[in-house]
A and B are shown apart, each in its own frame.
Chain A
Amino acid sequence: MRLLLLPSLGVIAILAVALGALFQYSVLAFVPGSLQTGGFTLANFRSVVSPQYLGSVWDTVVLSLATTALTLVVSYPVAYALARSTSAAVRSALLVLTLAPFFTGAIVRTYAWILVLGNTVVTWPVPMLFTERGVLVGLVHFSMPTMILLLAAAISHVDPALERAAASLGATPARVFRRVTLPLSMPGVVSGSLVVFAWTLSAFPTPELLGGGKVKMIANVVKDLALDSFNWPGAAAFAMVALALTLGLLGGLGRLAAGRVER
């Protein structure tokens, strides 16, 4: 029985080897003009925090934070409707609409935003395409399904009887939300925020296409270095940074979740 686990562990092992290769290259010297590598060095990681690239790293963090906050705010109402809706038809419809973007692929969704932000539908008062604003919109759109699903799951775990009880005790809907629903749905808020933040840090197609070369997040830097400059070691260092950030954040989330369960 236990042997049945082996093939899939083999697949994961292949991924682990690939990440190992990544790590290995991140500490090897780049030999410009070839794919060969030199000896051990920390130069690649130093360049991550160099003035040339630190801006990108900083932009990535700021943009991810903004995306997370904005996504949270716009997703909560939809998640609430999804979790609390009494009609199965409404719930199905919301679910389909929430999930369909999930599966139409990054390119399709990003391309759609190229059209919308590029003055095809409306002429924007300020330029949207190829700016950070545009990338932000695209990222929020990209993150909404995940956030909605995580929030909806958490909200549905909040017993509606508690909300009714609060109302019966004299609380207005706003206060019920602030004092009962929101605090009790916090686990979902936290996990949703962490997941969206972590994934946005590594976002690639949205800034690549909507940023038009002007908005560089960590993932874009990796691609530039790796596929345009063939600087695999340099790219590897940035990729390791993205990997470490993501693992750290989501590992922390796991620890949080486990801690909550134990309590």
Chain B
Amino acid sequence: MTALRSPAGPPSGAPTPSGTRVVVELRGCTRDFGGVRAVDGLDLSVREGELLSLLGPSGCGKTTTLNLIAGFVAPTTGRVLIDDQDVTARPPHERGLGVVFQSYALFPHLSVFENVAFGLRERRVSEAEIRRRVGEALALVRLGEEGARRPRQLSGGMQQRAALARALVYTPRVLLLDEPLAALDRKLREEMRTELREILRSVGITAIFVTHDQAEALSLSDRVAVMNRGRIEQLGAPREVYERPATRFVADFIGASSRVRGRAVATDRVELGPGQSLEVRAGRPLSVGATVELGIRPERVVVAPPDGPRVNRIAGRVTRLTYLGAQTEVTVEIAGGASVLGLVPEPSPVSLAVGREVTLALPPDAFLVL
């Protein structure tokens, strides 16, 4: 692993400097399967050293995009470039990438050591060098003692780490991960998430991974590409995608949100109904007279606010309480029939019951204009 940056590299969470070079580029890639268009005129640039996630529901084309980069699938039209070289026609075994598969795809007839050594053997590395680098890779993923075992003797989490070591040991240009944590149970998934991020950061590699789990995408990535129906709906840093969704789909897919509809009566005011209007400061002025749909995240809604400035206070009635352990989700029906979701911590400072009247405060800058 001498070619990789030492563990004293950039600390986890440090943002990638902009203006760095583009490692992987997709230009106008389209891929059809029979009558289905899996990827539709996709443009994507992946920067050196970044962790980029392709996030979306099943069928959105994220796995196909990954397969296009890896070379398992050829684009119907468009080009794939790695380090500015057109690799569209190049077969997978010549692209110098590393892939971690959802099922891990560890070779059952080889030991863990031989699995990890596989890529090095294809590169005619010397025996002594193989032993050294495999040892380092296994140590990096904390599987140092398991080299002699067979894959079927390892737990799911260990298999995942072995697959990671196998893909990293020969320092590929880019690491591709296909739903790497999907097969793990929840607790393990969260542990592995942090560990995966640390490993990838410490090695400093450019990584693209596919996931349908937004928590995973938000916590692991430097940038998130939200995909739908073969296209990228929004590409940006996690915070940006969460707080300023560019399209309705992104707003719906990432995080929960409640919707209220009204008419813009001023550039910063929306009227929901007679006597009920909200001040909205969403970054751009509203067009007066237009119908506006507003979204608001539950965590921004203040349930039963203490007395204070009476901006955007709305009265409503509790229709449902969902206990989530650390919080309770409160569903409140407001005048006009819309439902607003809010969260209260547990134990709750306010006593709530279904049917009880309650006041909500909606901060003017918390709205998403859809």
Q: Do chains A and B touch in the complex (CB under 8 A)?
A: no
Please give the residue numbers on chain B whose beta carbons come within 8 Å of chain A beta carbons, in ascending order: none
